[in-house]
């Protein structure tokens, strides 16, 4: 169960104060946008809903940066975040968690990009941002989703 489900359940019981607030909805300011992180693996849980499509990713081992990452095509809408520059400075996480909670874009934007619905077992790769200093829980807010040979931008809508 993803922790956001726990937050909703305990909130209904009036116990919100006992649940870490890190699992409430995050704005971009909580994430270190100067240090993009690369993750790859398979989905072990998927929540196809708002406010974000969420999944639990089990990392592949060993996790390694693809040699062609900086040359991968990025959507034209990525100009605002310098997509190519962002891919060129992407690193692996320093933390060693095997599972990461992944936050994609809102369901409406994922639909606009025509991202195929993922299920348990889907193999994918991601570039995004985690909390500053990699502190807290292993959460990645996704900038780019690499799925079935395509790159999807999660921060903007397609043109």
> Which of 105, 6, 91 lies closest to 55, judged by CA?
105
CATH architecture of 30-153: Beta Barrel (2.40)
For 77-88, write each residue's pLDDT tens digit. 776 778 889 999
CA-CA-CA-CA torsion sign (151, 157, 158, 159)? negative
Question: How many other β-carbons are positioned within 10 Å of the β-carbon of residue 23?
Answer: 18
Reported as a pLDDT band with limits 50, 70 and 90, residue 28 is low
* H or E element, residue 101: strand 99-103
For 93-134, write each residue's pLDDT tens digit. 999 999 999 999 999 999 999 999 999 999 999 999 999 999
Q: What does pTM read for this prediction? A: 0.81
In contact, 42 and 56? CB cutoff 8 Å: no
Give the domain ranges of the chain. Answer: 30-153
The mean predicted confidence, pLDDT, of the chain is 83
Strands (E), 10-98: 37-47, 54-59
């Amino acid at each position: 169960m993803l922790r956001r489900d726990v937050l909703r359940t305990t909130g209904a019981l009036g116990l919100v104060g006992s649940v870490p607030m890190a699992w409430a909805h995050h704005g971009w300011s909580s994430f270190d946008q100067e240090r993009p992180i690369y993750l790859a693996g398979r989905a072990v849980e998927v929540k196809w809903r708002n406010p974000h499509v969420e999944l639990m990713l089990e990392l592949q081992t060993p996790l390694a940066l693809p040699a062609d990452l900086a040359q991968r095509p990025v959507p034209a809408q990525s100009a605002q975040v310098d997509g190519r520059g962002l891919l060129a400075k992407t690193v692996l996480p320093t933390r060693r968690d095997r599972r990461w909670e992944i936050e994609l874009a809102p369901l409406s934007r994922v639909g606009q990009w025509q991202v195929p619905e993922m299920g348990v077992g889907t193999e994918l790769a991601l570039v995004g941002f985690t909390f500053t200093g990699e502190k807290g829980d292993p959460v990645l807010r996704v900038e780019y989703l690499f799925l079935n040979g395509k790159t999807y931008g999660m921060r903007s809508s397609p043109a």
